[in-house]
Amino acid sequence: MTSFPLLSALIWLPILSGVLVLMMKNQPTMAKQFSLWSSIGVFVLSLGLYTGFDATTAQMQFVEQASWIPAFNIQYFLGIDGLSMPLIILTTFTTVLAVWSAFECIEDRVEQYMAAFLMMNGIMVAVFSALDAILFYVFWEALLIPMFLVIGQWGGPKRVYATIKFFLYTFFGSVFMLVAFLYMYSQIGSFSLLDFQAMPLSFVAQFWIFLAFLIAFAVKIPMFPVHTWLPDAHVEAPTAGSVVLAAIMLKMGGYGFVRFSLPMTPDAANYLDWLVISLSLIAIVYIAFVALAQTDMKKLIAYSSIAHMGFVTLGMFLLYGILANTGETQGAILGLEGAMIQMISHGLISAAMFLGIGVMYDRLHTREISAYGGVVNTMPVFAVFMLIFAMANAGLPGTSGFVGEFMVILAAFKANFWIALAAATTLIFGAAYTLWMIKRVIFGDVSNHHVAEMKDLSRREFMIMLILAIGIIGLGFYPAPVMDVMHTSVEHLVQQAMTSKLP
Amino acid sequence: MDMMLHVLAPELLLLATSMALLVGDTFWAKRYPALTFQLALVSLLMIVGVILASFSTESVQAFNGAFIRDGVADILKVSMLLMTIFAFVFAREYLVVRGIERGEYYVMGMISLLGMMVLASAYDMLSLFMGLEVMSLALYAMIGMHKDSSVAIESAMKYFVLGAMATGLLLYGMSLIYGVVGSLRLDLIYQAVSIAEPSLVLNMGLVFIIVGLAFKFGIAPFHMWVPDVYHGSPTGITLFLAAAPKVAAFALMFRLLIEGLESSVVEWQGLLIILAVLSLLVGNIVAIAQTNLKRMLAYSTISHMGFVVLGFVTGNIDGYAAAMFYVIIYGLMSVGAFGVILALSRKGFEADNIADLAGLGRRNPVMALVMLVLLLSMAGVPPLVGFYAKLVILTNLVEVGMVSLAVFAVVMSIIGAFYYLRVIKAMYFDAPVAECVDAGFATLSLRYGLMTVAALVLVLGILPNGLLTLFAQVMTY
């Protein structure tokens, strides 16, 4: 089993099945079934990463290394540690739900739609497991193509504007990252991320590289003020597109910080941590107010995603403040672990919220909050699930949403009281915008005859919701399985982030 | 030294077959209209075979050093031959439908190709100039072939006048250099310049040569003719014009600046930086405003040539290899993109507006996919080969410490991405327009040819190593 190239299989199997699905023209049923079962197969296969994972080491595991473009010393170099493994499983898991959720609402060019999601699955796994900068960049950019087409072809009325904005924003961010890669390559003649992490760098170089990374990842996460593509993309994207976008693609930015920024440019990160922290706090506080004002459900959840991702970046960059204050690494580890948990949890919660909104949209074909009201009367089962997801989104203890936020706030107290206070307001605002939306949509009297005609969940929808609810509550009560696998890697990361790389 | 005619075997073969076809066509044109086309293809393929069979990285000289055959020349020639073959195959039906398909098209194309091949192998300013003129004169004639179209005549005229001016400037520069050095042979010029005192005359000559080169390349600020000529020429000829002659322009620049005047690198480097920056600016920004696909591709050519020049700017061998890779990849993509326009046009309908592609994703998924691959590759999105073309240029720029130039280039390619996306948007997101029903006359050969180009772009994108290594190898020799 050790020699089986599991990561390659997880990358190329979905891509190949995507190509196969693409050929099933005019056979929508077959395309759907095939896509579902192949994505389930990939998910089951990806569990092999969990069972075969050695949580006691921060070394890269499941490593595959081969020369790819020797002319530039570019390698086909894959491997995972505790930071990337949970994200890969989240990816394969979310893809199953995304594919399954599209069974009824997509009627046009089904095979292309399904193929796009399968291919994205493989590409995203590759992004999380690539250990060569160019390999990483290739997949990072390649992901834009299917997403661009998905939003543009199956999206809402303003889809073209939204998808071009999405493409250009992310493309804009990542080219600077490419130049940073090339600079580091010119210094050491290797594109291996491990070599990048080990190489010494002058402060000026680190400073610019950090900024280049920051642009790339901030656009992806997205952080204030480059977040404006996200609400547009989310609102216009089809449900499954929103799910993948929110649950996984945003995580690529957070992953970038822990894989690139912190270990590669620790001194610049130390110097500029105030910048990231301030932007995170703006995201948490200001964006929460923006979310409060939304009348479109998807837009509201999109803004809430930005606020939640603010927690992720906050947790990641608290460590220097904590070290300066307390001099010990415990708090730093807490913050980073909180950020990682928050990523996983937000993946589940945002997927759940978008799927829930998708369920309503399929029935009424509108996302305006004002078009709903009293859904609980006609869809009681759905209302229960929606309430669970909303509570998780608001960070209620017992749900996964609480764990990450709580850990980050706790860590923030060790860094600075005021930061912690600002961050903690999210528990109020988050509850406010989420629950207010739930009140207006779910509760109350049946507001109009459209709502009166809504049918409750189908078996398929029920299963999707149930799986997500189990995941969210399970992670909320017992996050240990996820935390255990990442603990050693986070410790290692904190060591790296504290070690100066100045020559 | 004897004449060593075997070194010129490919060129002589091409000369002989094109002359034979020129004469032969007058006999069989009426009875077998397709024969010239078929024979032209066969002979081009044969020449590719001859070059590949005798390929070597060693360099051999002939005609007392006026002609050289080395790895660089061979690679350039093979790529020019392949682009010409693609162009002939793609363009034929288009020309037939418009009633302008004559044997002369292929013969002219072959003669122009002959000029390019001489250019690729020229090792003496005289042979260089001869190759350039053979290439250009045939091109002028090709553009003017559609004599009922006033636009085509106009663009032939423009191309001729500006081309003649560029030739004049180039020639003047060459004569100044000759005045300083006293020799026409590039290797002797190289030796003489490397020990010569910096002199005003030499620098004047250099400036004139670079301006002439810039005209031929179509880089800003000497780019004005490019959009008009691309737009005005019948698409079947634009296709030819946009691919192989760019490779020839690379050859010209490589032979003159690198083989001849590399020791003045400090002088020409600055000039080239200005040209590259302007090309990237003009090409990418003006392209946004275009509604005509051919004009848009013309501006995109300008920006691509800016990238090629950036390869020269590095002033080292890896950079030149990167530029060669870029120009050849560009030629391939360009042949494909114009080929798609050809495949969609039909009699009385040129399909050369971006709006004409509306809804192509539904009307003709295969062509749309081909165009998608080509456009994204031009935009430099991985995993397509256009990304590696940009990557190797940028890598070399960063390696010589020109990070800010690299940043500028990537920012420009973001702007570039926008107008490629506009075309993709028309193809996939816009509703089909009523009048453009189905693809025009996409014949099987055109269809499969285009699919081959797209497949090449994808496969080379996933496995670019072979070509990159080969190019670096022939350059270092």
With contacts defined as CB-CB under 8 Å, which chain B residues touch A159? 429
CB contact under 8 A, A186 and B398: yes
* Residue predicted with more confidence, B437 or A338: A338
Per-residue pLDDT at B436 exceeds 70: no
pLDDT of residue A1: 42
Q: Is A498 on the interface with B (CB under 8 A)?
A: no
pLDDT of residue B309: 92
Q: CA A93 to CA B147: how far, in whole Å?
A: 64
Mean pLDDT score, B55-64: 81
Per-residue pLDDT at B84 exceeds 90: yes
CB contact under 8 A, A137 and B411: no
Locus of tokens 């010494």: A200
pLDDT of residue A364: 83
Q: CA A224 to CA A276: how far, in whole Å?
A: 10
Written as six digits, the tokens of B159 are: 């191309």
Q: Is B428 on the interface with A (CB under 8 A)?
A: yes
The CA radius of gyration of chain B, in Å to the nearest whole number, is: 21
pLDDT of residue B256: 87
pLDDT of residue B438: 55
Q: CA A319 to CA A229: how far, in whole Å?
A: 29
Mean pLDDT lowest for which of A255-264, B36-45, B459-468? B459-468
Written as six digits, the tokens of B255 are: 């032979």
Instruction: Tell me the per-residue pLDDT of B14-25, one tens digit each, with 9 for 90 and over.
Output: 999 999 998 988
pLDDT of residue A236: 85
Q: Which residues pair with B185 in a beta bridge?
A: B124
With contacts defined as CB-CB under 8 Å, which chain A residues touch B403? 179, 183
Q: Which of A145, A164, A178 sits opposite B425 (nearest CB)?
A: A164
Q: Is A175 on the interface with B (CB under 8 A)?
A: yes
With contacts defined as CB-CB under 8 Å, which chain A residues touch B391? 72, 134, 178, 182
Length of chain B: 477
Judged by DSSP in three states, A290 sits in helix
Mean pLDDT over each residue of chain B, to the nearest integer? 86
CB contact under 8 A, A71 and B410: no
pLDDT of residue B441: 55
Q: Is B412 on the interface with A (CB under 8 A)?
A: no
Dihedral sign of CA atoms B175, B181, B185, B190 in order: negative
Q: Which residues pair with A192 in a beta bridge?
A: A132
* Residue predicted with more confidence, B3 or B469: B469
Locus of tokens 């025009």: B440
Locus of tokens 């093979």: B78
Per-residue pLDDT at B9 exceeds 80: yes
CB contact under 8 A, A152 and B387: no
Q: Which parts of A253-401 are beta strand (E)?
A: none
Q: Which of residues 58-87 of A touch B (CB under 8 A)?
A: 68-72
Contacts of B42 (CB under 8 A, 6+ apart): none
- Measured from the Cβ of residue A246, the count of other Cβ atoms closer than 10 Å reads 29
Q: Is B411 on the interface with A (CB under 8 A)?
A: yes
10 Å CB burial of residue B211 (0-12, 13-18, 19+) is buried
Q: How far is CA A61 from the centre of its chain?
A: 22
Cis peptide before A225 (omega within 30 of 0): yes
Q: CA B178 to CA B174: how far, in whole Å?
A: 6
- pTM higher than the cut 0.80: yes
Q: Which of residues 77-136 of B touch A (CB under 8 A)?
A: none
Q: Is B369 on the interface with A (CB under 8 A)?
A: no
Written as six digits, the tokens of B466 are: 């072979």
Helix axes A85-101, A28-51, angle to 10 degrees: 160
Instruction: Give Cα separations from B66 to B76, B136, B172, B257, B321 (angstroms).
Output: 18, 20, 20, 16, 23
Asked whether this complex has an ipTM greater than 0.85, the answer is no
With contacts defined as CB-CB under 8 Å, which chain A residues touch B316? none
CB contact under 8 A, B387 and A160: no
Residue A366 phi/psi, 5-degree rounding, is -150, 155
Decide if B199 contacts B205 (C-beta within 8 A).
Answer: no
Angle at A27 between CA A248 and CA A34, to 5 degrees: 45
- Using the 8-state DSSP alphabet, how is residue A54 labeled? -
Written as six digits, the tokens of B141 are: 């004639």
Nearest Cα residue in chain B from A165: B418
pLDDT band, very low/low/confident/very high, at B437 (cuts 50, 70, 90): low
pLDDT of residue B418: 85
Decide if B226 contacts B294 (C-beta within 8 A).
Answer: no
Q: CA B350 to CA B69: how far, in whole Å?
A: 41
Judged by DSSP in three states, B117 sits in helix
Written as six digits, the tokens of B295 are: 């004009």
pLDDT of residue B302: 92
Label residue A458 left, alpha or beta by phi (over 0 means left) and psi (-120 to 50 means alpha). beta
10 Å CB burial of residue B359 (0-12, 13-18, 19+) is middle
Instruction: Tell me the per-residue pLDDT of B341-366, one tens digit each, with 9 for 90 and over.
Output: 888 887 777 778 888 888 888 788 88
Q: Would you give per-residue pLDDT tens digits along chain A (503 residues)?
A: 456 888 888 888 899 888 888 888 778 888 888 888 898 998 988 888 888 888 888 888 888 888 888 878 888 888 888 888 889 999 999 898 888 888 877 777 888 888 888 999 999 999 999 999 989 998 998 888 888 888 888 877 888 888 888 888 888 888 889 889 988 888 888 888 888 888 888 888 889 999 999 999 998 888 888 888 888 888 888 888 888 888 888 889 889 998 898 888 888 888 888 898 999 888 888 888 888 888 888 888 889 888 888 888 988 888 888 888 887 788 888 888 888 998 999 989 999 988 888 888 888 888 888 888 888 888 888 888 888 898 888 888 888 888 888 888 888 888 888 888 888 888 888 888 888 888 888 888 877 887 777 788 888 888 888 988 998 888 888 888 888 888 888 888 888 888 888 87
Cis peptide before B383 (omega within 30 of 0): yes
Closest CA to A223 of A311, A352, A145, A297: A311
Decide if A304 contacts A236 (C-beta within 8 A).
Answer: no
Cis peptide before B221 (omega within 30 of 0): yes
Q: Which of A139, A175, A179 sits opposite B398 (nearest CB)?
A: A179
CB contact under 8 A, B383 and A138: yes
Residue A474 phi/psi, 5-degree rounding, is -60, -50
* Residue predicted with more confidence, B326 or A52: B326
pLDDT of residue B17: 92
